Structure 1
Amino acid sequence: MTPAPPYRNHLHSSDDLVTTYAATRAGFVAQALEKNRRAVPYIAEARALQEAASQAQTPVDLLHIPGIEAGLLAAAGLSEKALVHLQEEDKRQAIENLIQNFLEPAGEKFVEELVFRFLLTRGDKLGGSMRNIGGILAQRKLTRAVLSTLRIAGIPYRWQHTKTRQWVDMTDDDSEIEFSLRGLSWKNADSSRTLIYNLTVPLVYNSNVDICLFNLNPDELVSTQYTSATSYIALGELKGGIDPAGADEHWKTARTALDRIRQAFADHAHSPYLFFIGAAIEKRMATEIWDQLERGVLTNAANLNDDHQITSISRWLCNL
């Protein structure tokens, strides 16, 4: 008897893929909580700036208070990227313009004006970091599900730090490593498995792929420079945006990426498994995804908001 395709373990029809109103609401709340968490250091910086600036009797006195130049430049509207291209005299001029045009007209409220303008610039930075927050939260959720699958199976793993690119051995306490994790590596029977997020894949015209699963360990993988077609077991698109208004666009982007991956590997006579995980899945999208699953165009799919589906697809990935 032919075994049932893996998606049948958690999906019975296209309706199971559709995101519920409750899940949409919960997703927006999760994003709001993450935004508040990320805002904490900016608020702390603003308080520190306010405390230091309160020593000034007049706006011009701010020029003579040590240790607040970065805060003054931020209040002047200059981002960290912009500062790289400025000379010291340019920075001084920017601060003087801030004082003359905005702080002096504020009168005795100049410190408040300074802090408000500082927070405006920092708010822009926070907004920039939030543009892909859906994807970040999605990656964390999937990572935690994969980690849990490995843990309960008693399979040790190593994980790669996003910033340092160093591989770290598993420890007894793996709480919150999903905040810093880019990759995972483990053994499936006697074979190595390595999962990497957000990888530029040379074989797919140097396009970024959200999730890649390989049959190599990290050292072997690096030595191949990701150019060995047969080392790819599965590739997937992960779309964490929760806004229903953008759901169709997310799927179109993912579908195009998956078509590109399929064609690129066909050119190398290899057919890795392809899968899709999405947070915002509307009825029409779900019907199209289900059709691709039934025709074998996609191997697996799941709604990110459904714990059963994410657990099931994580088990599938870990057992490939």
Structure 2
Amino acid sequence: MTAYLNHLQSSDDLVTTYEATRAGFVALALEKNRRATPYVAEARALQAAANQVRNPADLLNVQGIEMGLLTAAGLSDKSLAHLTAEDKIDAINGLIKNFLEPAGANFVEELVFRFLLTRGDTLGGSMRNIGGALAQRKLTRAILSTLTIAGQSYHWQHSKTKKWIAMTNDDAEIELSLRGLSWESDLGRRTLIYNLNIPLVKSNVDLCLFNLAPEALPANKSSKIEPVEVEPYTIALGELKGGIDPAGADEHWKTAQAALNRIRQAFADAGHSPLTFFVGAAIERRMAGEIWEQLQSGMLSNAANLNEEDQVASISRWLCSL
């Protein structure tokens, strides 16, 4: 039986419900608050240090708050790399003269507000990709669960160090810093890598499943791999879209569809035809119909709505069985 029929009976099953959309927005809000926690703690530390002085000019004499003052002056972490020591002093003096001194006795409050304003921009930037991050975590946890209940051991790749780590009895929250997974199936060694730039496709691919051991992938050291090393070993490639806003659903699908078409064409030109799949959080009725048509025609090998637990579990079993 065609794999997608294990969890889909019609295009209606792919449509994101109102309840799922609401829950998705709540999850985003909770994650935003979680990510904001360090910034709030930093603001409190800055406030405590600033409370030691009686006037704004004395802030220059307080040790250990230079970064806080620079942030309050409106400078991002990235911009600081391009500034000289004199530039930084000028920025702090400008902050004191133009904003803190006019605030009078409330200069500490003004300092903290301006610090949080800049940090808010930083948080906003990191939140632009949060939907994708949450989606990756959810799918990863489903795959980990599939492997665990099947009694299959695995190794996982840390997103920052690129090191492969053996499975342990306590794998709580490893999805927060996981970039890849590898396991031994009845068909051979399997390695799944997220967000990999494949030169053959000339773009980034959200999910890549290879018939290779981790050590055979240069992805251990870099985000890029040579096409000659993976063309014959690529099993499945997929697009994962975690944005929950219905207003952006159609655009997410268009982007994913274009990416999947590039994948199919690039590999077809090289004489290969890996399976392709799509997992999305916001799926409206019209795009659900298009996805269903592609599944029935064989253009897409599998698809699932990220908000439906049974569908996510099913597509995870499918990936682990390839």
Question: What residue number does 1:309 align with?
Answer: 311
Question: What residue number does 1:28 align with?
Answer: 25
**Preserved CA contact (<8 Å) 2:207 2:237:** yes
**Preserved CA contact (<8 Å) 2:198 2:226:** no
Question: What residue number does 2:86 align with?
Answer: 89
* Aligned-partner SS, 1:204: coil
Question: What residue number does 1:263 align with?
Answer: 265
Residues 98-135 of structure 1: per-residue CA shift (max 9 Å, x gap):
00000000000000000000000000000000001100
Question: What residue number does 2:189 align with?
Answer: 192
Matches within 5 A, 1:266-281: 266-281=268-283
Question: What residue number does 1:202 align with?
Answer: 199
Question: What residue number does 1:104 align with?
Answer: 101
Question: What residue number does 2:178 align with?
Answer: 181
Question: What residue number does 1:19 align with?
Answer: 16
Residues 8-61 of structure 1: per-residue CA shift (max 9 Å, x gap):
000000000000000000000000000000000000000000000001110000
| Mapped pair 1:64 → 2:66 | no
Matches within 5 A, 1:237-252: 237-252=239-254
Per-residue deviation, 1:312: 0.1
* Aligned-partner SS, 1:163: coil
Amino acid paired to 2:168: T
Q: Distance in 1 between matches of 2:226 and 2:268?
A: 19
Unaligned runs of 5+ in 1: none
Question: What residue number does 1:213 align with?
Answer: 209
Per-residue deviation, 1:226: 4.8
Unaligned runs of 5+ in 2: 220-224
Q: Distance in 2 between matches of 1:293 and 1:139?
A: 22
Amino acid paired to 2:271: A
Per-residue deviation, 1:221: 2.1
Q: Percent identity at matched positions?
A: 71
* Aligned-partner SS, 1:288: helix
Count of residue correspondences: 316
Please give the root-mean-square deviation of Cα atoms over the aligned residues, in Å. 0.9
Match of 2:137 among 132, 135, 140: 140
Question: What residue number does 2:294 align with?
Answer: 292
TM-score, normalised relative to structure 2? 0.97
Amino acid paired to 2:140: T
Question: What residue number does 1:231 align with?
Answer: 233
Q: Distance in 2 between matches of 1:78 and 1:197?
A: 32
Per-residue deviation, 1:222: 2.3
Question: What residue number does 2:222 align with?
Answer: none
Residues 218-246 of structure 1: per-residue CA shift (max 9 Å, x gap):
11122974533111000000000000000
Match of 2:7 among 7, 10, 16: 10
**Preserved CA contact (<8 Å) 2:210 2:235:** yes
